[in-house]
A and B are shown apart, each in its own frame.
Chain A
Amino acid sequence: MTDSSDRLVTGADLARVLAPARRPSPPGGLANVLTFGWRALLKVKHMPEQLFDVIVTPVMFTVMFTYLFGGALAGSPDAYIQFLLPGILAQTVSFTTIYTGFTLNSDIGKGVFDRFRSIPIWRPAPVVGAMAGDTVRYTISSLIVLVIGFVLGFRPEAGAVGIVGALILLNLFGVGMSWIFVVLAMIVRTPSVVMTMSWLVLMPLTFASNIYVDPATMPGWLQAFVAVNPVALLVTAIRELMSGTATASAILAALIGPAVVTAICAPIAMALYARRR
Chain B
Amino acid sequence: MHDASSPAIETVGLRKAYGDKRAVDGIDLAVRRGSIYGLLGPNGAGKTTTVRMLATLVRPDGGSARVLGQDVVAEADAVRRRISLTGQFASVDEDLSGTENLVLLGRLLGYRRREARARSEELLAAFGLSEAAGKPVKDFSGGMRRRLDIAASLVVTPELLFLDEPTTGLDPRSRNQVWDIIRLLVRNGTTVLLTTQYLEEADQLADRIAVIDHGRVIAEGPSAELKASVGTGVLHVRLAEPADADRAAAILATRCGDGVLRDGDPRRLSVQLADPALATAALADLAAVGVALTDFSLGQPSLDEVFFALTGHPAEAAGDGQPEAPE
Q: Are the C-beta atoms of B81 and A114 separated by less than 8 Å? A: no
Q: Are the C-beta atoms of A114 and B85 separated by less than 8 Å? A: yes
* A73, B322: Cα distance in complex, Å: 58
* A1, B100: Cα distance in complex, Å: 18
B106-129 contacts to A (CB < 8 Å): 107-111, 115, 122-123, 125-129
* A11, B180: Cα distance in complex, Å: 9
**A-side contacts of B185, CB under 8 Å:** 14, 18
**Is A151's CB within 8 Å of the partner chain B?**
no
**Is B256's CB within 8 Å of the partner chain A?**
no
Count of chain A to chain B residue pairs whose CB atoms are closer than 8 Å in the complex: 146
Binds B, one of A77-85, A93-101, A105-113: A105-113
A19-69 contacts to B (CB < 8 Å): 19-21, 23-27, 31-32, 35, 38-39, 42-43, 46-47
B172-231 contacts to A (CB < 8 Å): 174, 177, 180-181, 184-185, 187-190
Q: Are the C-beta atoms of B87 and A111 separated by less than 8 Å? A: yes
With A16-B122, A17-B154, A24-B156: A114-B57 Cβ-Cβ less than 8 Å: yes
Q: Are the C-beta atoms of B157 and A1 separated by less than 8 Å? A: no
* A117, B91: Cα distance in complex, Å: 11
Interface band, chain A? 35 or more
**Is A8's CB within 8 Å of the partner chain B?**
yes
**Is B258's CB within 8 Å of the partner chain A?**
no
Q: Are the C-beta atoms of A114 and B96 separated by less than 8 Å? A: no
* A13, B83: Cα distance in complex, Å: 21
Q: Are the C-beta atoms of A3 and B95 separated by less than 8 Å? A: no
* A70, B143: Cα distance in complex, Å: 59
- Partner pick for A118 among B84, B94, B110, CB 8 A cutoff: B84
- Partner pick for B110 among A14, A20, A26, CB 8 A cutoff: A26
**A-side contacts of B69, CB under 8 Å:** none
**Is B308's CB within 8 Å of the partner chain A?**
no
Nearest A residue to B129, CB-CB? A5
**Is B246's CB within 8 Å of the partner chain A?**
no
Q: Which of A1, A19, A20, A25 has the most CB of B within 10 A?
A: A1
Q: Which 10 interchain pairs have the tightest Cβ spacing?
A: A24-B110, A5-B128, A111-B91, A13-B126, A115-B91, A111-B89, A276-B59, A111-B87, A120-B80, A18-B188
